[in-house]
Amino acid sequence: MDRLDNTIRPYAWGSTTAIPRLLGTEPTGEPQAEMWMGAHPGAPSRTGRGTLVEVIDADPEKELGPDSVARFGPRLPFLLKLLAAGGPLSLQVHPDLTQAKEGYADEERRGVPVTAPHRNYKDANHKPELICALTEFDGLCGFRDPLRAAELLDGLGVDTLKPYVDLLHAHPEEAALREVLTAILTADREEMARTVTEAAAACDRLGGAYAPYADIAHHYPGDPGVIAAMLLNHVRLQPGEALFLGAGVPHAYLDGLGVEIMANSDNVLRCGLTPKHVDVPELLRIVRFEAGDPGVLRPEAGPDGEEVYETPIDEFRLSRYVLPAGGTTRDLTLTTPQILLCTAGSVRAGEHELSPGASVFVPAGEKAEVSGTGTLFRATVVVRRP
């Protein structure tokens, strides 16, 4: 197996302290938002044999296994991250696989450069994702019931929000959410900025359920996404709890440290809380206007102490081992590729001693024995046989 040397991305919303604290390093004062583990071409992990992209390209079947190559092609289909949010990420959705393929082909046909700021589809893949909290973790996930959203907006006492409140009461669920989100994103920007400013002041004053939106407005003053965010469920995960975010589900991470895993894609359509491009017509085509509970996941006990976060996605499978003091050595060998990440304690994986934040890549079929005392996350793929 290969010890990984991973890149930390300094996005502006990142925490300055959470990843250094986990790694036991001194903060630099700069944001450290994400640590990437995998073979994403934008920042592949490095090994003693070259980058993980180079290692896999040299012999895909040996590194990934024939089953994974047959199912997903000669590439690692997931990206594993440590994600440390010190402020809100953009409010966003991801396309399903068909939408991604169609959108990518359309923009390629129209000659839109991949690097263009108004480009929506960077690749032809979908981007489902799972976030598992290592600390308390705040986020927004999926639409609230329209009547609950109406109650929240009405409680602000802002006159210019009354039309949205009425719409949420007057239509069936899907139509209500679609009309209100459309109205928010297409409103006159100056008028909406004044509405957001007034709403933010009310959120500050009221606190409680409004406190997350006051904080969002502090980071993005005047942004229509502040009002759009109030249509969504606010979720606070406890350590070990997770959220699965499928295609079309609007979401945003607000604060906290977690382990994130996703299909290997860069396709994001933004709804707000960002200076980046917002393509309203394409966004409205992708969003699923369905209200419901965000569905907090807790790991399900599997054999030999493995705790699995079940999702309907084959490109990734995330599980966790909490290794007790004096425990026996566990054999984690699989016929699929794995990345093992230590997040607490001290874990030995093969010949490698892993402290918090350290990770290894295990090629398909390679012996993977682990021992020690701590917490180990395992990322792999699902290959379903007929």
Residues that are catalytic: 270
Are 35 and 7 in contact by the 8 Å Cβ rule? The answer is yes
> Which residues neighbour 259 within 8 Å (Cβ) at sequence distance 6 or greater?
80, 81, 82, 83, 131, 132, 134, 318, 341, 343, 377
Pairwise CA distance, residues 67 & 303, whole Å = 22
> Which residues neighbour 198 within 8 Å (Cβ) at sequence distance 6 or greater?
156, 158, 160
Give the angle 210-212-214 at the CA atoms, nearest 5°.
Answer: 70
> Which residues neighbour 134 within 8 Å (Cβ) at sequence distance 6 or greater?
22, 239, 256, 257, 258, 259, 343
The b/e string for 159-172 (b: 16+ C-beta within 10 A; e otherwise) is eebeebbebbeeee
The b/e string for 68-82 (b: 16+ C-beta within 10 A; e otherwise) is bbebbeebbbbbbbb
Q: Which of 293, 283, 294 is nearest to 181 (CA)?
A: 283
> Which residues neighbour 324 within 8 Å (Cβ) at sequence distance 6 or greater?
373
